[in-house]
Structures are given as structure tokens and as C-alpha cells.
Amino acid sequence: MTTFNIDNFDNSAVELQNLIDENHLEIKKLLLITSKSYANFVVPYQLLGEKLNNFITPIYHIDSVCNSENTQRIYDECLPIISLYYTSLSQNEYIYSAFQDIQYSSKSSLSIEQNKVLLNELRDF
């Protein structure tokens, strides 16, 4: 698990934006894959989300348990950045189509857990 140093808290919004910019680039690369599969699209896509969650969760947690003007300011700076990111993902028809195509073409060969992941991804759009 990532250790979060409260001394570096002030740079969180900039670091979050950099991480989101990297994720956008990686998602563009994933969308260029011609034969998308669970292994080459879904897994890397989810890892990007996990990396982002591992970054943002400590910010939310620290603001909750050690709330101060500084933590609230950082939280307030990060919230619109992360909201915009997830809004853009949830409205991206290419990502949605990729999940649909993988589900349609691979449903019978995927495990119950993998199919559930796809169903959840599609549900969240």
C-alpha cells in the first residue's frame, strides 16, 4: 500500500492532474487495440483505476480523520478534478463499446468473476 506523507499534501491536486493525464494517454492507447480482450483491455483499464484510487483515497481519508483548513482546501481542489475525470470516462462511448464488444465476443470463455466485472463496468455507464 502507498504511504501518504501529509507533508507533501499541498502538491496533491497537481499530482492528481498528472496521474489523470497519464491515465487519459493510456486509455487512448488501450482504445487503439484492434482485438480487445479481457486481458489486454479490461485488466489494464482496471489497473489504471486502481492506481488512481490508491492515490486519491488517502486524501479523502486524511481530510475525514484530520480535517483542517489545509486538508479541506486540498480536498476541494481535488474533487472537481476527479469528478471531471470520472464523468469523462462514464460518457466515453468508445470505452463503453469496448466493454460491450469484449462481453459479446468472450462471454462464454470468461470466468464468472470476469463476466461480473464486465457487467459492473457496463452498469456504471
In a domain, 32, yes or no: no
The residue that leads in pLDDT, 1 or 20, is 20
Q: Is residue 55 part of a domain?
A: yes
Per-residue pLDDT tens digits for 67-108? 889 889 999 999 999 999 999 999 999 999 999 999 999 988
Which residues lie closer than 8 Å to 78 by C-beta, 6 or more apart? 12, 13, 16, 56, 59
- Range of the structural domain that residue 116 is part of: 8-26+37-123
Q: Is residue 16 part of a domain?
A: yes
pTM of the predicted protein model = 0.88
Q: How confident is the model at residue 68, as a pLDDT? A: 87
Q: Into how many domains does the chain fold?
A: 1
1 part of a folded domain:
no
